[in-house]
Structure 1
Amino acid sequence: MPMVSDNIRGALLMIGAMCAFTLNDAFMKSLADEIPLFQAIFIRGLGAIVFLVFMCKLLGQLRFTFPARDWGLVILRTMGEIGGTYFFLTALFNMPIANVSAILQVLPLSVALAAALFLREPLGWRRLSAIIVGFCGVLLIIQPGGADFSAYSLYALGAVACVTLRDIAVRRMSRSVPSVFVALVAAVGVTGLGGVGSLFVEWQPFTALSGLQLVGATGFLIFGYIASVSAMRFGDIAFVAPFRYTSLLVALVLGVLVFGEWPNALALTGGVIVVATGLFTLYRETKLRIRTRMVPDRIR
């Protein structure tokens, strides 16, 4: 039986991560009417830290002897995780889950653009045009100045910027840095954000239902952390990133079935445009990769 390629392995991990993160989002959104945001982040984070420390010890990944360059990238990724969590959950608590998820579908485009700018990965005019069109699709989702415009859409865009930073940092890390350890450091950073923020809000008691919802959010968050870090370290970034679109499908289903939410026609159109342009970047990257393999090596 042929071995699974790095690209396929990365794609499967990305699909699993996106499903897990979206289910985590649904549980967190369900808590919005009962538990303050920072309290929920803090309690959820404690559970994630305990589990990830256990996993690090079990796998022998709880070590700190990394080069300064890798430590800098781990910290940079954690900063992106902290910012992304705050901006995203703030938007999620105040907007339909499908709308927030649709805005985040621009991530493959923003990551491809950032990879070209900072990692010097090739980016032709066709893919650059697709990125521009994709951002126009985001404007249809946000609808600035329209009756359905929400200022919290800007928080969702802030989350896009932070997660782009996070993913680029992961790509620069050496493979000697364990994925679970990276996830643990991120969990510590996000939990610290929740701890500081919870000092300024009035804590609310958990009911049996809200407690179960928080447990569910924690479990899916843990899996999402590990799978997302691993996904970005396998295969080509342009191949793996578009599989983030799984989260939009899951968010649409959860929005309708759980929250009774349905995006308007413009938002749906914008989501389709963003997904289509992202898939086009995947097509172009695959075509260019095949063409590169067909060109014989030059004599050096």
Structure 2
Amino acid sequence: MTDTLRGSLLMVLAMGAFALEDVIIKSVAAAMPTGQVLILFGLGGMAVFAGVARAQGSALWHPGFCTRPLIWRAVAEVSGRLFFTLAIVLAPLSLASAILQATPLVVTAGAVVFFGERVGWRRWLAIVAGFAGVMMILRPGMSGFEATSLLAVAGMLGFAGRDLATRAAPRTMSNAQLGLFGFAMLAIAGGIALAWTGGAVWPTGPQTLALCATVTIGVLAYMALTGAMRLGELSVVAPFRYTRLVFAMVLGVVVFQEQPDLMTLLGSAVVVGSGVFTLLRSKTPR
């Protein structure tokens, strides 16, 4: 098995795990405040990555946590996690996941603005087409518009900001340290949400098991994603990110009886197609 094939399989595994993580969070949040779910999820992930960091001989605290890129990453991570979690709880999972697929397009546009990268006219057309696909999904002013879908847009913008800030993070930071930092921001996002809504409850046995499963799946997904991005040709491996939408739509139909309409499916196809084209064209500015 080649590194590229191994990386592609790891990417598919990671996207399936992330979609399953969303399903469990959406299910648990039906009986528990969303903020509390995020806090418990974040603390669990922190504990796992703290253990990984110590096992690798890495310090739990890195001076890079206080640098400007990591501060911006923290703000973006908190907003992205908070708004996207609210989106998957309050909106259809398939709808929120479809909007999330525009993240690479926003990252590409942001790389031009913040890092001076060159993007040719073909990729600019793909970015514009991708945003048009998002508008097809949102349908503002039309009968199919769901206000809760704007939460997914806010979450997507937060994740794009996180990805851009991560590129500027100190290279001396290990993946375990970044994972620890990311899950800490998730717990902070949950604290903000819980402070606003209140209503914390003591988890039942099944809820505790579900949260433990979420932490396990989330950590495995993160590790699989990291492994995928380090194996093989990035231009081949990266487009498999979009399998998350397929997993999310199937799980949304099976678990929550969602029925994405034709406009949502068409908009999703436009967003995914634009993103794949942008990734495949990333090696050339023309």
Matched residue count: 285
For the Cα contact (< 8 Å) 1:239–1:285, is it kept in 2? Answer: no
Q: How big is each residue's C-alpha offset from its partner over 1:207-248, in whole Å with a ceiling of 9 and x where there is no partner?
A: 333222212211122223444466667788766653320110
Task: Spell out the pairing of 1:60-71 with structure 2 (5 A cutoff).
Answer: 60-66=57-63, 71=67
In the alignment, which residue of structure 1 is the partner of 2:186? 190
- Report whether the alignment pairs 1:162 with 2:158: yes
2:45 pairs with 1:45: no
Give 2:128's aligned amino acid.
I
Could you state the TM-score of these two structures normalised by the residue count of structure 1? 0.85
SS at match of 1:285: coil
1:105-126 deviations in Å (ceiling 9; x for gaps): 1112111111122222220001
Return the offset for 1:192: 2.2
Q: Distance in 1 between matches of 2:147 and 2:141?
A: 10
**Match in the other structure for 1:102:** 98
Going from structure 1 to structure 2, the CA distance change for 1:57 and 1:76 (only over 3 Å counts) comes to: same
TM-score, with length taken from structure 2? 0.89
- Structure 1 residue 249 and structure 2 residue 246: aligned? yes
After superposition, residues 146-157 of structure 1 pair within 5 angstroms as 146-157=142-153
Partner SS state of residue 156, structure 1: helix
Letter of the 1:38 counterpart: G
For 2:220 and 2:207, the matched residues in 1 are separated by 20
Residue 174 of structure 1 deviates from its aligned partner by 3.9
Q: Which moved more, 1:193-202 or 1:135-144?
A: 193-202
C-alpha deviation, 1:279, in angstroms: 1.7
- The separation in 2 between residues aligned to 1:258 and 1:130, in whole angstroms, is 33
Matching residue of 2:81: 85
Q: Distance in 2 between matches of 1:191 and 1:53?
A: 14
Change (3 A) 1:73 1:231: farther
- Calculate the aligned-residue CA RMSD, in Å: 2.6
Deviation per CA, 1:33-72: give whole Å up to 9, x if none. Answer: 211101111112221111111111011122545468x833
Q: Check 1:82–1:153 CA distance in 2 against 1; reply closer, same or farther (3 A cut).
A: same
- Looking at structure 2, the residues matched to 115 and 16 of structure 1 have their Cα atoms a distance apart, in angstroms, of 27
Q: Say if 2:23 and 2:251, in contact at 8 Å, map to a contact too.
A: yes
How many Å separate the matches in 2 of 1:100 and 1:218?
21
Q: Give the alignment of 1:207-222 within 5 angstroms.
A: 207-222=204-219
Report the equivalent of 1:34.
31
Aligned to 2:201: 204
| 1:123 alignment counterpart | 119
Is 1:175–2:171 an aligned residue pair?
yes
Q: Which deviates the most, 121-130 or 166-175?
A: 166-175
Look up the equivalent residue of 2:89 and give its one-letter code.
Answer: F
8 Å contact from structure 1 (residues 238, 281) kept in 2 = no
* Code of the aligned partner of 1:130: A
Cα 1:64–1:201 change in 2 (3 A) is closer
- Residues 62 and 177, structure 2, Cα contact 8 Å, conserved in 1: no
Equivalent pair of 1:108/1:242 in contact (CA under 8 Å): no
What is the aligned partner in structure 2 of residue 55 from structure 1? 52
Question: Which residue is 1:296 aligned to?
Answer: none
Separation (CA, whole Å) in 1 of partners of 2:9 and 2:239: 12
* Contact persistence 1:108–1:244 (CA under 8 A): no
Alignment correspondent of 2:138? 142
In 2, are the aligned partners of 1:108 and 1:238 still within 8 Å (CA)?
A: no
- Structure 1 vs Structure 2: percent identity of aligned residues? 36
Equivalent pair of 1:179/1:230 in contact (CA under 8 Å)? no
Distance (whole Å) between structure 1 residues aligned to residue 218 and residue 198 of structure 2: 23
AA partner of residue 46 (structure 2): I
